[in-house]
Structure 1
């Protein structure tokens, strides 16, 4: 399935829960990044992911701060290396930290205590270690 078909399945809630793993979350973020500017892409992605989780009865798995932090990191990397915008496999190869252990990538910005707090799951909280990169969200 190409990324456009993937987004259609996600947005229509036709995508089976069994097919929606971490890599699928990243594919959604990357696919939105290809189509929209950073802020709009991030807003659309977070909206789609949270609505999908609610519709599928797994709303407790959606973590807003983790999602937004990953989007900031991912979109900044794509802004710094535009060739990654059009090649999913190249993106994955260039960003193994996000693909293999996204939580660790986010923990460079957040303490585990702050990231694991329930308020961070429900709404965005600012990082407490260092500011998130914002370059990708400004384009």
Structure 2
């Protein structure tokens, strides 16, 4: 696991909402779709978009966005199902444990947490398994430890 870790934090709720809306509308510049943006959009979707079933729709949302900016979703590039679903599980766990309630505070706390780390999925997966074509194309169960399983009726903002 890497030791140097300094994510770009957000300064306004509106920046996070703009990322999420930009993802949905396929209107973000490709350069804006960073690791931090992925996690911010995931938390935003889970807490502020009850109309979107993230488990059913996240793959299509990200694939569509990638294609809209000229990206390719194939065996080596673009959408990675197992990494995405690992982070969705991690963000859910984070939301079940955090005391933060404001959007920006939640996202920044997430980014500074263990779940926010780029190498966080490697706590559950070997590199070989996580970076396999099968894990990119579809969800593959971890081989080192089970992902967090959090069942919460509602993570939505109040």
Fold conserved between structures, TM > 0.5: yes
Aligned length: 135
1:63 aligns with 2:80: yes
SS of aligned partner of 2:108: helix
Structure 1 position 47, deviation (Å): 2.7
- Contact 1:78 1:85 (C-alpha < 8 Å) held by counterparts: no
Aligned match of 1:14: 27
Q: CA RMSD for the aligned pairs?
A: 2.4
SS in 2 for 1:131: coil
Contact 1:110 1:128 in 2 (8 A): yes
Query: Please, which moves more after superposition, 18-27 or 128-137?
Result: 128-137
SS of match in other structure, 1:62: coil
TM-score scaled to structure 2, two decimals? Answer: 0.73
Contact 1:62 1:121 (C-alpha < 8 Å) held by counterparts: yes
The runs of 4+ residues in structure 1 deviating greater than 6 Å are none
1:12 is displaced (CA, Å) by: 1.4
Q: Deviations over 1:22-61 (max 9, x none)?
A: 1111111010011256x92343333311211122222322
* Aligned equivalents of 1:72, 1:36: Cα separation in 2: 17
Q: Is the 8 A contact 2:40 2:107 kept in 1?
A: no
Range 50-59 or range 85-94, more displaced = 85-94
Question: CA contact under 8 A between 1:77 and 1:136: conserved in structure 2?
Answer: no
How do 1:1-139 and structure 2 match up within 5 A? 1-36=14-49, 40-58=53-71, 59=73, 60-81=77-98, 83-84=99-100, 86-96=102-112, 97-99=114-116, 101-102=117-118, 104-136=119-151, 139=154
Unaligned runs of 5+ in 1: none
Structure 1 Cα separation of the partners of residues 110 and 37 of structure 2:
17
- Unmatched 5+ stretches in structure 2: 1-13
